[in-house]
């Protein structure tokens, strides 16, 4: 618990307790943010960067058509939901595992 000392001009030093007012500690609750979504997506892409069948790194993500749109109504890259991955070497596809 944090304490802040308060100056008291007439206070004597003989008080057993320190002249402070305790304040309850403020617990900052971290909320899920857009940055967390970006990090989560990057981890997902990193975990699926190699094909499970042939080991190729030519892997592309398969995304839903739910990307965010910018002011020109164009989809923002990296904002769509990834549902699967496809290997461009052997055409193997596998779903996203959480
Ligand atoms: Zn492959």
* pLDDT tens, position by position, 46-98: 999 999 999 999 999 999 999 999 999 999 998 899 999 999 999 999 998 75
Can you tell me the mean pLDDT for 23-40? 78
In the prediction, which pLDDT does 15 show?
Answer: 59
Give 3-state DSSP helix, strand, coil % of the chain, rounded to 5.
15, 25, 60
51 burial via Cβ count (<10 Å: 0-12, 13-18, 19+): buried
What gap in Å lies between CA 37 and CA 26, rounded to an integer?
A: 26
Q: How many whole angstroms from 85 Cα to the centroid of ligand 1?
A: 10
Q: How many whole angstroms from 58 Cα to the centroid of ligand 1?
A: 8
Q: How many whole angstroms from 92 Cα to the centroid of ligand 1?
A: 5
Q: How many whole angstroms from 34 Cα to the centroid of ligand 1?
A: 32
Reply yes or no on whether the pLDDT at 7 is more than 80: no
In the prediction, which pLDDT does 91 show?
Answer: 95
In the prediction, which pLDDT does 54 show?
Answer: 95
Given a contact cutoff of 8 angstroms between Cβ atoms, the answer to whether 93 and 84 are in contact is yes
């Amino acid at each position: 618990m944090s304490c802040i000392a308060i100056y008291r001009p007439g206070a004597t030093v003989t008080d057993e307790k320190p002249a402070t007012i305790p304040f309850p500690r403020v617990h900052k609750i971290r909320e899920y943010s857009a940055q967390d979504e970006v990090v989560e997506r990057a981890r997902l892409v990193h975990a699926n960067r190699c094909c499970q069948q042939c080991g190729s790194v030519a892997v592309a993500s398969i995304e839903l058509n739910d990307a965010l749109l910018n002011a020109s109504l164009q989809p923002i890259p990296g904002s769509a939901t990834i549902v699967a991955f496809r290997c461009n070497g052997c055409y193997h596809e596998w779903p996203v595992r959480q």
